[in-house]
Structure 1
């Protein structure tokens, strides 16, 4: 039996509707356009939507583990787990914001995104130079989930952008190449999540919050202001 040929897949994933190329396998059972898929990104295991399947041209992102990959077409268990992860967003936001405020880190927590393995992406606005190592270590000690720290506006490696910033768009972020903050619609799951993904920590919860292009302008303006006498 001949081995299946490799392909490259353009996949949309994440709350902000990220789009990036992933390595994949061809064959009769391979996912096609419109299918829900499980992908491995630098953030972890995530649910995505297949957009395009093409012959490989070396466009897939890569880290120390290897190329980012489409692992499989999402099954019922994957979809159930994705709903459970999404149901954790509000409680995870309150929990994570409480820890951030208690530690006094120089950042504003914008949103959180629990992944399929129930690790959680902290989407943050850095207010100063930010080292994510102590943040991740603090969560490992205090809670039953790991975190990934992602500054607002960070984008994955996306090959061959189709528009430039000079085409009349912002130019201060990636929206000239079709990115920016287009929120992907998410279906909220009714009922409690599984205990394995619920998270635990003694810190009390706090507020809520959330945007992208205007954030950069606000941050720049804030830094230009003279300190009060």
Structure 2
């Protein structure tokens, strides 16, 4: 019988629901198919019976429980991502693009590399994409993120002196109303 599993891919990231008939429990590492490709995530809560929910569409299924080889590949990909990050920074400097690289991630099967960056303006990165494709020889995604997402990825210390909430436990951001921004004396943009 299918059950509902909440899977998180980053320690403080958003969680997604998948269906499964596997014998898994909270804390298990699992392999799932996402829009980005194969990825490893962690089950963050106890499984619930799928029949309790009225879902409009079909949930993707958990492929399998992660084995030792999957975890090893995941760790190798993290090391590759650090090297790829440095290479991409050098290529960005060569092409004189006005963008600040934030993070780099590989999918589990290393068929795709995702670079996240911030920029104040729209960036024409066609030349950059060609150079990156010739170096990495896989699918490349360049994703522009905003300042809130940057804080979530990079981390830091908040006004209270503790690690940023978005980096430590907040899964999703709520919208910021104009009234909230005015109360905190923030720029209204």
TM bracket, shorter-chain basis: 0.5 to 0.7
Alpha carbons of 1:129 and 1:100: their partners in 2 closer, same or farther (altered >3 Å)?
Answer: same
Aligned to 1:22: 17
Aligned to 2:94: 102
Displacement after TM superposition at 1:90 (Å): 2.3
Deviations 1:73-132 (A, max 9, x none): 101110111111112232111111122222333321012122312232212112212467
Give TM-score scaled by structure 2 length.
Answer: 0.64
Which segments of 5 or more consecutive residues in structure 1 lack a partner in the other structure? 155-174, 184-216, 225-229
Displacement after TM superposition at 1:182 (Å): 3.1
Relative to its length, the structure with more helix (as a share) is: 2
Determine whether 1:88 maps to 2:83. Answer: no
Give TM-score scaled by structure 1 length.
Answer: 0.54
Equivalent residue runs for 1:1-229 within 5 Å: 5-14=1-10, 17-26=12-21, 29-52=22-45, 53-56=47-50, 57=53, 67-118=59-110, 119-130=112-123, 136-152=129-145, 153=148, 180-182=166-168
Higher relative contact order (CA 8 A, sep 6+): 1
Aligned to 1:194: none
* Kept in 2: contact 1:139–1:146 (CA 8 A): no
Alpha-carbon separation, structure 2, partners of 1:19 and 1:68: 16
Which segments of 5 or more consecutive residues in structure 2 lack a partner in the other structure? 150-163, 170-180
How many residues of Structure 1 are paired with residues of Structure 2 in the alignment? 155
